[in-house]
Amino acid sequence: MKLPIVLLLCFVSCAASGKNWALLFTGANGWFNYSTHSNLCHAYQVLHKAGIPDERIVVIMYNDIADDPQNPFPGKLFNSYNHTDVYKGTPLTYTGKEVMTDVVLAALKGDKEAVKKLIGREATMADPGVS
């Protein structure tokens, strides 16, 4: 299944626990998609600042922009002219070859076994059934 080159923000509120979860996803990669990655990292910063703990924020992105040779500020991403690094502190749950539609769908379902089978390691994901 091909990945769309879009930014997906998914907020899940678990009625049983009353806790908020977020899944931030972009299937975009390459330097020309800088803004997509910086906007995703900014979305993480907003959610984190709003009090959603990192263990309830799943970030799925290629992670190939911050250290791209074309980046004049290696290891940093900015989404506005105030030059606040939005990449710093962003937890990267799934990156590189792990960025697949099937991983996103399994993470949304809370299917840790499916994710492990797809990426070959223990899953870290939004699991609204866990407090």
Q: Any idea what the CATH number is for the domain that residue 20 is in?
A: 3.40.50.1460
Task: Tell whether 2 is covered by a domain.
Answer: no
Helix (H, G, I), strand (E, B) or coil at 106: helix
Tokens of 96: 């590189």
Task: Tell whether 33 is covered by a domain.
Answer: yes
Model confidence, pTM: 0.81
The predicted pLDDT at position 121 comes to 84
**Range of 48's domain?**
7-119
C-alpha atoms less than 13 angstroms from C-alpha of 91 in its C-beta half-sphere: 14
Count of domains forming the chain: 1
Task: Tell whether 89 is covered by a domain.
Answer: yes
Cβ contact 18:10 at 8 Å: no
69: left (phi over 0), alpha (psi -120 to 50) or beta: alpha
Averaged over successive runs of 10 residues, the pLDDT of the chain (131 residues) comes to 46 57 88 94 94 90 95 95 93 90 83 88 57 35
